[in-house]
Copies of this chain bind each other. A is one copy, B any other.
Amino acid sequence: MIELGENRYGKSCVRVMRVERESEPHSVQEWNVEVWLRGDFRSCFEDGDNSRILPTDTMKNTVYYLARLSKAEHIEGFATELVTYLLENNLQVEEAGASIAATQWGPLSDGRQMHGSAFIQARNAPDTATVTRRRGEAASVCGGFRDLAILKTANSAFAGFIKDKLTTLQETHDRLLGTVAAGEWKYSLEGVDYKAARHRIMDSLLSTFATHQSQSVQQTLYAMGKAALEAETGIAEIHLSMPNKHCNLVDLSPFGLDNPNRIFVPTDEPHGSIEACVRRAN
């Protein structure tokens, strides 16, 4: 006997830009939205009966429709509105989810003045939010970010590790530490000020990254997660992914030159992959 297991369907890469031009400066929000549904869709999968299927095209329209109506000022709020709308209007659905990545548009300044109707894309690291909601339950709200390229030029060591017959890495007490970080935290309360919380979390993550006396990526990651949990009491846990984008010191001795941590080759592959969840203990 063969049966349907876990399944979900939805629409991905629904791009939407909300522009407010009622006063200067204008505001721009550019979102890339994914939305999905779970429920008992066996008759569709097994029998080709689409009578319980809300088309993904309609989900896309729902994003546009709510974008027009919504007063949400942050992606956590808009994602919550989306999943709530889908649950309320689709009784066949058991769980709805939405994930949003927000492009970072900032005001365009030319050094002399800020322009009220021109924008420049700031760093390539979108804010993210993921909200899921099961029927009859509160929404589960996560905030996050990804693609955040950061680099330490001091206070990073890696030594005291296991040596075996396949070890070729040298210990170091002074290396570059670069990563392209991603993170996601889960709110434990409703009614959080998501914008202020995000600000506190990002501040504590970056400040800790900058100042930590790092013995390993793992230790720095943990310190960052701990700092975020201490800075924002409204979150229960934070998951961080910090690939170690190795910067290799170039051996210039064949050319008669020294290289006292001056010239490195940044690399993308292979790279270390370090990820962990840091959470409040029960």
A residues contacting B by CB (< 8 A) are 1-21, 26, 28, 30, 34, 36, 41, 44-58, 60-62, 64-65, 67-69, 89-90, 105, 108-112, 115, 117-125, 148-155, 158-162, 164-169, 176, 199, 203-204, 206-207, 209-211, 214-219, 221-222, 225-226, 229-230, 237, 239, 243-244, 247, 250, 252, 254-257, 259, 261-281
Specify which chain B residues have a CB less than 8 angstroms from the CB of A9 in the assembled complex.
217-218, 272-275
- With both chains docked as a complex, state the minimum distance between the C-beta of A101 and any C-beta of chain B, in angstroms: 12
Residues of B within 8 A of A210 (CB): 108, 110, 115, 117-118
A55-B158, A58-B167, A105-B151 given; name 15 further pairs at CB < 8 Å: A3-B278, A6-B239, A6-B277, A13-B268, A15-B269, A19-B153, A45-B221, A48-B219, A50-B215, A58-B162, A108-B209, A117-B153, A120-B150, A123-B124, A165-B256
Question: What separation, in Å, do the CA atoms of A269 and B90 have in the docked complex?
Answer: 24
Expressed in whole angstroms, the Cα–Cα distance for A164 and B61 within the complex equals: 11
